[in-house]
Amino acid sequence: MLHGWENFFIAAATAGATLIGLLFVAITLGVGLSTPHGLDATRAFLTPTLIRFNGVLFVSLDMLPPWPSALPAGIILGIFGLIGLLYQIQASLNQRKIDFVPLDWLDWTLFSVAPVLGNASLIAGAAGLIAQRPFAPYAIAGATALLLLAGIFGAWHLTLWIAKSRDKT
């Protein structure tokens, strides 16, 4: 069922790992901005972005081993998707409390809705793997792409905030 998907998940794992490294570089550049407000914003926006990139890496690495059946990968992804969904709900509530930058509906869609859809798609893909349905790899790939997109968007906003904040100091 997963034959032919190796390149997609190798590319996604590479992107996730690379973006984690670049995120650390961006944060290093903003290290002097550690005000209490900046730390709250970091917890509310940086941590979920880092978790999304780690999620892309984790999903990809879970899909690459030659499992004896799809069942173990499906169970792992299902649990991971459920934890990710619960985490995203908590992260969205925390983000709403922080006066980080003015965010419009598109920003909130990419900060909150895309990761929720990504984790829901991951859960659906995991159930599809367990039931051996042909849609499963597509749902998991879609989840991976949504989490990657949301992470890139979050990293972009953090980078803009760091650049803007550095100009004020």
70, part of any domain: yes
- pLDDT tens-digit profile, the chain (169 residues): 678 889 999 999 999 999 999 888 877 766 665 666 666 666 777 889 999 999 999 999 999 999 999 999 999 999 999 999 999 999 888 877 776 566 677 777 788 899 999 999 999 999 999 999 999 999 999 999 999 999 998 888 877 777 776 656 5
Task: Give yes or no for a contact between 47 and 14, defined as CB atoms under 8 angstroms apart.
Answer: no
On the CB side of 113, how many CA atoms lie within 13 Å of its CA?
7
1, part of any domain: no
**The residue type at 84:** G
Query: Rg of the Cα trace of the chain?
Result: 17
Give the predicted TM-score (pTM) of the model.
Answer: 0.86
Structural domain harbouring 160: 6-168
**The residue type at 112:** S
66, part of any domain: yes
134, part of any domain: yes
Q: Show the tokens assigned to 155.
A: 């990293």
- Which among 143, 142, 147, 136 is positioned nearest to 2, based on CA atoms? 136
Q: How many domains does the structure of the chain reveal?
A: 1
34, part of any domain: yes
Q: What is the pLDDT of residue 7?
A: 92
